[in-house]
Chains A and B, each alone.
Chain A
Amino acid sequence: MPSAIERQWNFDLPLTSLAVNRRGDWIAGALGDGSLRLLPANFAAEEPKEIRLHDGVSLSLQPDADDHAFLSGGDDGKAFIIDPALDAPTLIKEHKNQWIDHVAASPLGEFRAYSTGKNIYLLDDAGEEKFTAAVPSSPGGLAFSPNGKRLVASHYNGVSLWWTNAKESVPARLIWKGSHLGLIWHPEGKIVISAMQEPALHGWRLGDNNEMQMQGYAAKVRSMGFTAKTRYLATGGAEQVICWPFFGGGPWGKTPLMLGGGDGRLVTCVAPHPKDEMLAAGYEDGMVILAPLDGRMEILIHPPVAQNGAGVVGLVWNGDGDCLFAALENGYLMLFTLESVKQSVTHA
């Protein structure tokens, strides 16, 4: 089956990540030379705008608290806000000779946070430092709760949680043996889940400290997302998209829904549709699929790429959910629209 690509761009440099702003109308791709490409997230998809950013590379690219901007931290020790309406990024912090490994912005409340080494910095809406805190090992992830009232950092043997309005930086610590990396909050803000160095997830329900352990992955889980209406946590790291049910008492004691694949290739990216009960998944060999959650068949929208190093490293929907962008490690950025997918299915 041919690809359902509407448009594609080749940047001749490795793409390392992809993000969509909170408004859902711009996407940003980070490249291996430290620059960004910005693109309006719509059908028209003009030529990408190039922004020179880091002297090394972006280590973390996220939607900013300002809902049309992006936030990036890099191995040049700099953190920038990138506003698509402006021609130049705004430098907000610099730490000479250090790496800014993680950046995060609160969905509500205009907080920003970043980490260098073992230190975490929380900034208020004016960009002033509210507090700094050290965790036991360099954090593997940093994330604000959906209402912006809490900040969580993952590290060795657990996660640390702060209240963003607190004056003191003493965290609550949730313990689980092992090294914790990526983080995701349940959209209701009661559960925080970490992806571990081992191929497993560990989650904590705040308040009653109920914990959850999700295992059986073939690789580290690097991509997670809650599906529309918060029914499933969709995850990569296996040959199929593993979707843990968060309804009817789950995920405790429930088996996951497994979608797509099963041919020995691993899922590297998942992107739940922003409105409908459907998700997109990208694989280590460049394959991209759309998978409905109601049991209907998956649709292959981009076939595997024969050459090495063409894994999917970023996959995002625009806010309206009619455009899907996929970034391949070898520098290709692809745009699929629901319309191009429909036509490709009809002609197949």
Chain B
Amino acid sequence: MEQIPVTVLTGYLGAGKTTLLNRILSETHGKRYAVIVNEFGEIGIDNDLVVGADEEIFEMNNGCICCTVRGDLIRVMGGLMKRARNFDGILIETTGLADPGPVAQTFFADPDVAVRAKLDSIVTVVDARHVPERLKDSQEAQEQIAFADAILLNKTDLVSKEELENVERMIRRINAFAKIVPTERCNVPLDKILGLGGFDLNRILTHEPDFLEPADHDHSEDCQDEQCDHSDHDHGHHRAHDHEHDPSIMSLSLIADRPIDGAKFENWIGELRATKGPDLLRYKGILDVAGRDAKLAIQGVHMMMEGSNLAAWKAGEKRQSRLVFIGRDLDAEALKKGFASTYGG
């Protein structure tokens, strides 16, 4: 069954989500989107594919505190899927204060939604002028940036070049891997924010082989960038971007040039998800597993992780395992040690 792609649109109050939605709904781009909005009145366009939904957070009864889903989305998606297909994708607008976690988890935790729809990406609209303040006082604003595959840095005309650079730096500290798209009035080609395949394990590998490389190497002073020693092949390598100051959410990337032991890795990541799940917002990786010709790709949100064997390593291709975490209060040392303990051989 063909799964319909879903883009989640987040952003703090006043960042410009509604402007973007109105653009997507009114411009001619040959595609029809069903839009699930939290406040019906804000969308000025009369469109039978606009659906209002109130945030309803449900805990799944499987004993895991962080397995929360959005009951309203399960209901609305179920209804939309009854329609003879007359739209190409679904956009979900969250409230300015929404936690993107339960939205993302809905697409993994509810079997009916998972069969018929796939989460394509999370796009976060950020107000370049006000975001520095928001990041100081709002956990939600941090989380929305942390979860993003693409960040629409909006209202760039209202800030100076220095301010803009500062804002980009702040965003990068939280999420070193998202694509940042600067814009005024959300004036951005839609293909930069729709159909990104942020949760597509295959696409990560085939279209964006460098996805695990932080997009911006220009880090601030408090970044302790530990370069690995490429001459030492016996101990594997890792590199961590470790930020010790506010905000409490940050990105961390680990690299190993030695094959990892599949069973050991599974144990370690399983334990990590069980103990730190609520703090792990997003993580992805491509792994070189000892004894396997195929690349193993994984990705997760909180406790929920999926993995898949992808195309084989090519002859001459550098076999390397790369793993990135975006999370709250990440213990960089423990993660490095833990990852190193999964090396095979």
A32→B52 contact, CB < 8 A = no
Could you count the A-B residue pairs with CB atoms below 8 Å apart for me: how many are there?
72
Interface residues in B81-97 (C-beta closer than 8 Å to A): 82-85
Q: A138-B71, A197-B61 are in contact. List 11 more A-B contacts (CB 8 A).
A: A31-B84, A32-B82, A32-B83, A57-B79, A75-B83, A76-B48, A98-B52, A99-B76, A138-B75, A140-B75, A178-B59
Question: B82 and A138: CB pair below 8 A?
Answer: no
- Interface residues as binary, A128-162 with B (CB distance below 8 Å gives 1, 0 otherwise): 00000000011010000000000000001000000
CB distance from B168 to the nearest CB of A (A): 39
6 nearest A-B residue pairs (beta carbon): A32-B84, A178-B61, A57-B82, A16-B82, A137-B56, A179-B58
Q: Tell me, yes or no, whether A210 is within 8 Å of chain B by CB.
A: no
Q: A32 CB to closest chain B CB, in angstroms?
A: 3
Most central of B52, B62, B79, B85 by chain A CB within 10 Å: B79
User: In whole Å, how far is B62's beta carbon from the nearest beta carbon of chain A?
Assistant: 7
Q: How many Å lie between the Cα of A73 and that of B66 in the bound state?
A: 35
The total of chain B residues at the interface (CB under 8 A) is 25
For window 19-50 of chain B, which residues contact chain A by CB distance below 8 Å?
40, 48
Q: How far is the CA of A271 from the CA of B112 in the complex (A)?
A: 22
Q: In the docked arrangement, what's the CA distance between A198 and B82, Å?
A: 21
Chain B: minimal CB distance from A252 (Å) = 21
Interchain CA distance A55-B47 in the complex, whole Å = 12
A-B residue pairs in contact (CB < 8 Å), sample of 28: A13-B84, A14-B82, A32-B84, A33-B84, A55-B48, A56-B83, A57-B79, A57-B83, A59-B79, A75-B51, A76-B48, A97-B40, A99-B51, A99-B76, A101-B75, A101-B79, A117-B52, A137-B58, A137-B71, A138-B54, A140-B75, A177-B59, A178-B61, A179-B71, A197-B58, A197-B61, A220-B111, A220-B112
B1 within 8 Å of A by Cβ? Answer: yes
B72 within 8 A of A: yes
A33-B84, A101-B79, A138-B71 in contact; A198/B62 too (CB < 8 A)?
Answer: yes
Contacting pair A177 B75 (CB below 8 A): no
Are A198's CB and B60's CB within 8 A?
Answer: yes
| Docked-complex contact A97 and B83, CB < 8 angstroms | no
- Interface of chain A residues 167 through 182 with chain B (CB within 8 A): 177-179
Q: Which B residues from 65 to 79 make CB contacts under 8 A with A?
A: 71-72, 74-76, 79
Mask, A90-120, CB within 8 Å of B = 1, is 0000000111010000000000000001100
